[in-house]
Amino acid sequence: AQSVTQPDIHITVSEGASLELRCNYSYGATPYLFWYVQSPGQGLQLLLKYFSGDTLVQGIKGFEAEFKRSQSSFNLRKPSVHWSDAAEYFCAVEKGNTGKLIFGQGTTLQVKP
Amino acid sequence: NAGVTQTPKFQVLKTGQSMTLQCAQDMNHEYMSWYRQDPGMGLRLIHYSVGAGITDQGEVPNGYNVSRSTTEDFPLRLLSAAPSQTSVYFCASSYGGGAGNGYTFGSGTRLTVV
């Protein structure tokens, strides 16, 4: 069965510092990979996705993610964090194009002024 | 274009009651799915559908029922509510899944079972 692991439950960074959120997946073939962000009390917003092609994916709000097949990882990065980036971030995997989207447990990002 | 609409936004049920959470989308998306979100658990897939008349179970289907008679609607039924079903429920839809435009989420329904 496919699974998604986000090893960091909670991360705190200073405003202006760089950010990397980790995501590892377990799946036999190349999955479709997503990063979503959720602000408190809100729904989920798609930051970026990967399903083929260039392994470095650019998303909205200055985020990017890199797919590394050898490490089964899809880590999210941002070079300079803003206070408004404080939220919960979810990595998700879809097996093929089946409509079956599986989420990691989420990482809560806190931004210090 | 309203996106994904979930109703109601809040609901309190008594143990044993039944109810239906509504989900509608006006984007002609063939994929629709239901998730529940609990603290520390992320979002867990309950049921999903790849088109009208086609549904399948996700990770946590017990206690929930779905049907998909139209492309636009994907209601989630709680047959006999239990306190363990207290959660925030999200509906999502997509045109083409991961190979398409990704998944759009509704704003959620907060359900409390007492």
For the record, the structure tokens of A6 come out as: 């986000």
Q: Would you mind telling me the total number of residues written for chain B in this entry?
A: 114
- Average pLDDT, stretch B20-28? 96
For the cut 80, the answer to whether the pLDDT of residue B1 exceeds it is: no
Chain B CB contacts of A87 under 8 Å are none
Cβ count near A69 (within 10 Å):
9
Burial of B53 (0-12, 13-18, 19+ CB in 10 A): exposed
Dump pLDDT digits (tens) for A44-81.
999 999 988 889 999 999 999 999 999 999 999 999 99
Under 8 Å between Cβ of A78 and A69: no
Dump pLDDT digits (tens) for B46-67.
999 999 999 999 999 999 999 9
pLDDT for A51 equals 85
State the best of B5, B6, B43 to mutate against chain A, taking most chain A CBs within 10 Å.
B43
Q: Is A40 on the interface with B (CB under 8 A)?
A: no
The verdict on a CB contact (< 8 Å) between B103 and A101 is: yes
The candidate with the shortest Cα–Cα distance to B37, out of A94, A92, A49, is A92
pLDDT for A99 equals 86
Comparing A93-97, B33-37, B74-78, B81-85, the range with the smallest average pLDDT is: A93-97
Under 8 Å between Cβ of B102 and A34: yes
The candidate with the shortest Cα–Cα distance to B91, out of B13, B34, B40, B51, is B34
